[in-house]
């Protein structure tokens, strides 16, 4: 238990799923008993008005039935409640309730009960004002120095101040330059209204200036308070505080001086009557409400400030005097006298937690038990310490800094892809052409050992593959429970994806509150995007993969792609992607080689990768473990560079189109301003073909916007094809130089750093920076190259020549014996095996 928690005197929870704000709480002797005891008045956005008079039997008791004096449903949302002398002819206190379109004033009275049920309270409507504008907040006081009664000022959502002299409407004035309403308060000493405008400055308006200014009902909407009769509304003083205000409070404990307190988003300010800053305090936490009140020290003011860290801070001027913890985040705080207890702090949260508390401490009475004294055997302790150090050293050597111990996971995720297509395809809005697009069902199963809450499953596949549903949320999972979700995957676009691998990621929090993420990968079938096709004898792009085993029948490797029209041709197979491109696979009858050929370079990737995976699976089933693939041909960098140039050209084109669209948009707005000025002019002037120019510019803007969208679609498809070609180049480099899995992972991290391409951060500059780092670290020739620093900022390059040069240099250094690594020894120059030396 914390020592500085607020001491709970009385508390309750108001309603169910109701909402409250800073104006919904008020403390006053609303039933005019005259004994100095305050009542708690609370209004909610659901329209419920409640009045409480707490009488706890002992400290910390909850609310009893007799504590609630009144509960009534007013139907309209209650924005603010205030108590004052609002009825003419009497100085009794009445309750003012502000709704969005109405102001109601009630009298609250109690009838002495004759039976055990106690006293009965009721409210009576004295009068109401229907508002022409939507209200935001209100303030009250003796405007103009009137005696014995209070006037009400309501601020509307569009910045109009409406003054009501009790039962009658006085006048309404618009605040100049108002965009959004701010907090509003009335200073009786200077007879002025103080608010914070949208310009983030405190503004003060004299009541007399408001009263004699131009009537708001007669103003011109387009020329606010510049035309029409009467005086202009002039601000008395302003102070720029540089932030939006949450609340304003006027404090005056003697007639000689008063202070204006403003609570900002990061600071609170104390101002003099003339707007000069008396002091300010920078807050450590985001505040939620505040209340200045009197201080025991002469010349100082105490302030209660609640924040979003469940804390209530008490400041004496700028000095923090006390900090206490609350069980909720307060949106309103008041201090009053309840049940003969003075200085009770009343707080209200936005979800209806109402608490009466006082300041104090809870001293801890815990005493540590005495420890039995015993003799220490230093020799045994030294032996135990050495054993522990040896265990720690062994663990660090074998497993790194964080030991990965084998343990039972809290959650296990598994994915299963259906071997058959869906009987009814789930494909919708596909752009593939005339082919019937199939869909396949994937089931993801979650098995948890412990109770979990709000586990979220996210599934991702490579575009243009799409999912029928990619987000699943499990609010609660009981221990030893299994949950299975199913979704379908299908091809939506007319081009091929860069990968057939999907990823299911589950994020959850362990019972101890530690956030964790677990993922599971699944592989989609090739037949989802590919159909059997007619083999082609000629092709623009060809690859030959060498193996160390006898060739395998293609019918046994690809049983679902056998072409019925070809008889006894087990060494040739054709594939046709749903987008239309074709790939041919040939197996040599005499040598241990396989050839893949296609008209498009990037289309070779999926079939080549699928071939290697299926060959590995085939020989593993045969019990052969020394199967290996290799590539001995020339690296197809020229074809790869053509795809890079095409992708870069689309990026440059998109940049030009966006600049041109920005220019046309500026021109369009300029023409609009010129036309608006002509239309507002009292003396009509010819348009001078501005309307024709506006229409032509509008058509240009629409055409450019369409061109930008079309270029973005082309860029997205080009990036997908570039990723496919990049995967193929990485695979060929790995087979060419017989790279290990870790080295291939380094290449993938360098060549495929981005999941998506943007104008701000593109593929070319990112890959160029990564390859340059490899060339200057693990693939460097000398220490001079290592001394070159890379640029800290990535910008779009002028062309791709530098990138293509670096990729060629990377392949050249790998061919000469360079090896990829990321260890601390990577900075040492590699020993190059030079030909002929």
Inter-residue contact 424 to 439 (CB < 8 Å):
no
The pLDDT value recorded for residue 709 is: 93
Q: Lowest mean pLDDT: which of 71-85, 244-258, 266-280, 421-435?
A: 421-435
Does residue 18 have a pLDDT over 60? yes
Q: Lowest mean pLDDT: which of 219-233, 480-494, 528-542, 794-808?
A: 219-233
**Cα–Cα distance, 300 to 270 (Å, whole number):** 11
Give the confidence band of 317 by pLDDT, cuts at 50, 70, 90: confident
Joined together, the tokens standing for residue 137 give: 């907040």
Does residue 784 have a pLDDT over 80? no
Give the rounded distance of the alpha carbon of 105 from its chain centre.
Answer: 43
The pLDDT value recorded for residue 566 is: 52
Q: Lowest mean pLDDT: which of 172-186, 656-670, 739-753, 785-799?
A: 785-799
CB atoms near residue 658 (< 10 Å): 16
Give the confidence band of 254 by pLDDT, cuts at 50, 70, 90: low
**Cα–Cα distance, 484 to 489 (Å, whole number):** 16
Inter-residue contact 578 to 530 (CB < 8 Å):
yes
CA distances from 19 to 28, 98, 137, 363 (A): 22, 16, 16, 35
CA distances from 461 to 190, 483, 618, 656, 709 (A): 67, 21, 26, 32, 23
The pLDDT value recorded for residue 453 is: 77
Bridge partners of 189, per DSSP, are: none
Q: Provide, rounded to the nearest whole percent, the portion of the chain with pLDDT above 70.
A: 88
Give the confidence band of 111 by pLDDT, cuts at 50, 70, 90: confident
Inter-residue contact 756 to 717 (CB < 8 Å):
no
Q: Lowest mean pLDDT: which of 74-88, 336-350, 795-809, 817-831?
A: 817-831
To the nearest 10 degrees (0 to 180), the angle between helices 690-737 and 637-680 is 160
Q: Lowest mean pLDDT: which of 74-88, 427-441, 584-598?
A: 427-441
Does residue 595 have a pLDDT over 50? yes
The pLDDT value recorded for residue 409 is: 65
- At residue 504, the 3 state secondary structure works out as strand
The pLDDT value recorded for residue 8 is: 83
**Cα–Cα distance, 518 to 540 (Å, whole number):** 43
- At residue 588, the 3 state secondary structure works out as coil
User: Span 184-203, mean pLDDT?
Assistant: 92
**Cα–Cα distance, 105 to 703 (Å, whole number):** 59
Q: Quick: pLDDT tens for 729-747.
A: 999 999 998 888 888 889 9
Q: Lowest mean pLDDT: which of 125-129, 231-235, 506-510, 658-662?
A: 231-235
The pLDDT value recorded for residue 195 is: 94
The pLDDT value recorded for residue 782 is: 64
- 738 versus 111: which is more confidently predicted? 738
Q: What is the mean pLDDT of the chain?
A: 84
The pLDDT value recorded for residue 415 is: 92
Does residue 829 have a pLDDT over 70? no
Provide the 8-state DSSP code for 5.
Answer: B
Inter-residue contact 497 to 464 (CB < 8 Å):
yes
User: Span 447-457, mean pLDDT?
Assistant: 83
The pLDDT value recorded for residue 589 is: 83
Give the rounded distance of the alpha carbon of 289 from its chain centre.
Answer: 25
The pLDDT value recorded for residue 273 is: 87
**Cα–Cα distance, 327 to 311 (Å, whole number):** 9
**Cα–Cα distance, 50 to 44 (Å, whole number):** 9
**Within 13 Å and on the Cβ side, how many CA atoms surround 693?**
15
CA distances from 642 to 486, 542, 609, 646 (A): 41, 16, 22, 6
**Cα–Cα distance, 708 to 654 (Å, whole number):** 6
CA distances from 443 to 484, 521, 656, 779 (A): 7, 12, 45, 44
**What's the pTM?**
0.53
Joined together, the tokens standing for residue 786 give: 């290592």
- At residue 292, the 3 state secondary structure works out as strand
Does residue 139 have a pLDDT over 80? yes
Inter-residue contact 84 to 96 (CB < 8 Å):
yes
The pLDDT value recorded for residue 675 is: 86
Residue whose C-alpha is closest to residue 537's, from 569, 572, 577: 572
Which strand (E) or helix (H) includes residue 17? none
Q: What is the three-state SS of 103-134?
A: EEEEEEEEECCCCCCCCEEEEEEEEEEECCCC
Checking phi first, is residue 139 left (phi over 0); if not, alpha (psi -120 to 50) or beta? beta
The pLDDT value recorded for residue 783 is: 57
Residue whose C-alpha is closest to residue 536's, from 625, 600, 466: 600
User: Span 795-803, mean pLDDT?
Assistant: 88
The pLDDT value recorded for residue 230 is: 44
Joined together, the tokens standing for residue 8 give: 């709970």
Q: Quick: pLDDT tens for 616-638.
A: 988 988 888 888 999 988 899 99
Inter-residue contact 331 to 20 (CB < 8 Å):
yes
Strand order in the sheet with 160-165: 135-141, 151-156, 160-165, 168-174
Give the confidence band of 114 by pLDDT, cuts at 50, 70, 90: low
Does residue 364 have a pLDDT over 60? no
Does residue 358 have a pLDDT over 90? no
Provide the 8-state DSSP code for 27.
Answer: E
Q: Quick: pLDDT tens for 701-725.
A: 999 999 999 999 999 999 999 999 9
The pLDDT value recorded for residue 650 is: 92
Q: Provide, rounded to the nearest whole percent, the portion of the chain with pLDDT above 90.
A: 40
Most distant CA atoms of the chain, gap in Å:
117
The pLDDT value recorded for residue 217 is: 53
Q: What are phi and psi of 332, to 5 degrees?
A: -150, 140
CB atoms near residue 415 (< 10 Å): 17
Question: In sequence order, what DSSP letters do the residues of 663-698 get, joined into one string?
Answer: HHHHHHHHHHHHHHHHHH-SS----TTHHHHHHHHH
- At residue 526, the 3 state secondary structure works out as helix
- 179 versus 77: which is more confidently predicted? 77
Checking phi first, is residue 557 left (phi over 0); if not, alpha (psi -120 to 50) or beta? alpha
Provide the 8-state DSSP code for 360.
Answer: -
Provide the 8-state DSSP code for 371.
Answer: P
Does residue 684 have a pLDDT over 80? no
């Amino acid at each position: 238990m914390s020592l500085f928690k607020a001491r709970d005197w009385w508390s309750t929870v108001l309603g169910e799923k109701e909402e409250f704000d800073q104006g919904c709480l008020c403390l006053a002797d609303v039933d005019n008993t005259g004994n100095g005891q305050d009542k708690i008045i609370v209004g909610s956005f659901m329209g419920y008005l409640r009045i409480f008079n707490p009488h706890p039997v002992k400290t910390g008791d909850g609310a009893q039935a007799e504590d609630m004096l009144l509960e009534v449903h007013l139907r309209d949302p209650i924005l603010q409640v205030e108590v004052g002398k609002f009825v003419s002819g009497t100085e009794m206190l009445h309750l003012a309730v502000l709704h969005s379109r109405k102001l109601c004033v009630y009298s609250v009275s109690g009838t002495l009960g004759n039976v055990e049920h106690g006293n009965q309270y009721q409210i009576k409507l004295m009068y109401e004002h229907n508002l022409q504008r939507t209200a935001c907040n209100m303030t009250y006081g003796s405007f103009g120095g009137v005696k014995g009664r209070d006037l009400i000022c309501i601020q509307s959502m569009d910045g109009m101040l409406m003054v009501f002299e009790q039962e009658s409407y006085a006048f309404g004035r618009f605040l100049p330059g108002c965009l959004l309403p701010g907090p509003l308060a009335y200073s009786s000493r200077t007879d002025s209204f103080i608010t914070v405008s949208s310009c983030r400055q405190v503004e003060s308006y004299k009541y007399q200036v408001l009263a004699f200014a131009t009537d708001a009902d007669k103003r011109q909407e387009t020329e606010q308070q510049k035309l029409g009769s009467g005086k202009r509304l002039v601000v008395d003083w302003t102070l720029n505080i540089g932030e939006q205000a949450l609340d304003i409070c006027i404090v005056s404990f003697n007639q000689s001086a008063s202070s204006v307190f403003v609570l900002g988003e990061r600071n609170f300010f104390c101002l003099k009557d003339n707007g000069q800053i008396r002091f300010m305090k920078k807050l450590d936490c985001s505040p939620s409400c505040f209340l200045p009140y009197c201080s025991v020290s002469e010349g100082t003011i105490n302030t209660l400030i609640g924040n979003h860290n469940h804390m209530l801070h008490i400041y004496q001027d700028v000095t923090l005097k006390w900090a206490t913890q609350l069980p909720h985040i307060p949106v309103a705080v008041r201090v009053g006298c309840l049940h003969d207890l003075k200085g009770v702090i009343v707080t209200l949260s936005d979800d209806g937690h109402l608490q009466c508390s006082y300041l104090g401490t809870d001293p801890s009475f815990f005493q540590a038990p005495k420890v039995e004294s015993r003799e220490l055997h230093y020799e045994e302790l030294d032996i135990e310490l050495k054993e522990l150090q040896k265990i720690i050293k062994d663990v660090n050597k074998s497993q790194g800094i964080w030991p990965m111990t084998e343990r039972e996971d809290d959650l296990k995720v598994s994915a299963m892809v259906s071997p058959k297509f869906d009987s009814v395809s789930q494909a919708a809005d596909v752009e593939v052409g005339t082919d019937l697009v199939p869909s396949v069902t994937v089931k993801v199963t979650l098995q948890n050992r412990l109770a979990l809450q709000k586990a979220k499953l996210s599934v991702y596949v490579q575009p243009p593959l799409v999912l029928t549903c990619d987000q699943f949320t499990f609010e609660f999972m009981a221990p030893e429970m299994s949950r299975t979700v199913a979704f379908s995957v299908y091809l939506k676009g007319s081009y091929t994806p860069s990968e057939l691998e999907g990823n299911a990621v589950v994020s959850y929090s362990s019972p101890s509150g530690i956030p964790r993420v677990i993922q599971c990968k699944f592989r989609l079938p090739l037949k989802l995007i590919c159909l059997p096709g007619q083999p082609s004898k000629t092709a623009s792009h060809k690859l030959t993969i060498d193996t160390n085993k006898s060739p395998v029948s293609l019918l046994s490797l690809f049983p679902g792609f056998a072409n019925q029209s070809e008889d006894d041709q087990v060494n040739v197979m054709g594939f046709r992607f749903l987008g239309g491109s074709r790939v041919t696979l040939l197996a040599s009858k005499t040598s241990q080689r396989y050839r893949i050929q296609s008209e498009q370079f990037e289309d070779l990737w999926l079939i080549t990768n699928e071939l290697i995976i299926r060959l590995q699976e085939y020989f593993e089933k045969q019990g052969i473990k020394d199967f290996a693939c290799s590539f001995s041909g020339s690296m197809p960098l020229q074809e790869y560079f053509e795809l890079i140039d095409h992708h870069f050209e689309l990026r440059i084109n998109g940049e030009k189109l966006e600049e041109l669209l920005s220019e046309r948009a500026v021109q369009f707005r300029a023409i609009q301003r010129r036309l608006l000025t002509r239309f507002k002019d009292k003396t009509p002037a010819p348009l001078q073909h501005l309307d024709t120019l506006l229409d032509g510019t509008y058509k240009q803007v629409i055409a450019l916007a369409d061109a930008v969208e079309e270029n973005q679609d082309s860029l997205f498809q080009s990036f997908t094809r570039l990723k496919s070609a990049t995967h193929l180049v990485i695979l060929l480099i790995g087979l060419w130089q017989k790279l290990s899995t870790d080295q291939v992972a380094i290449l993938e991290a360098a060549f495929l750093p981005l999941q998506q391409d943007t104008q701000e951060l593109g593929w070319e500059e990112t890959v160029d920076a990564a390859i340059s780092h490899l060339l200057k670290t693990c693939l460097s020739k000398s220490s001079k190259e290592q001394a070159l620093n890379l640029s800290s900022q990535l910008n779009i390059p002028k062309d791709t020549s530098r990138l293509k040069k670096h990729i060629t240099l990377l392949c050249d250094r790998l061919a000469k014996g360079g090896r990829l690594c990321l260890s601390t020894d990577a900075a040492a120059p590699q020993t190059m095996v030079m030909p002929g030396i």
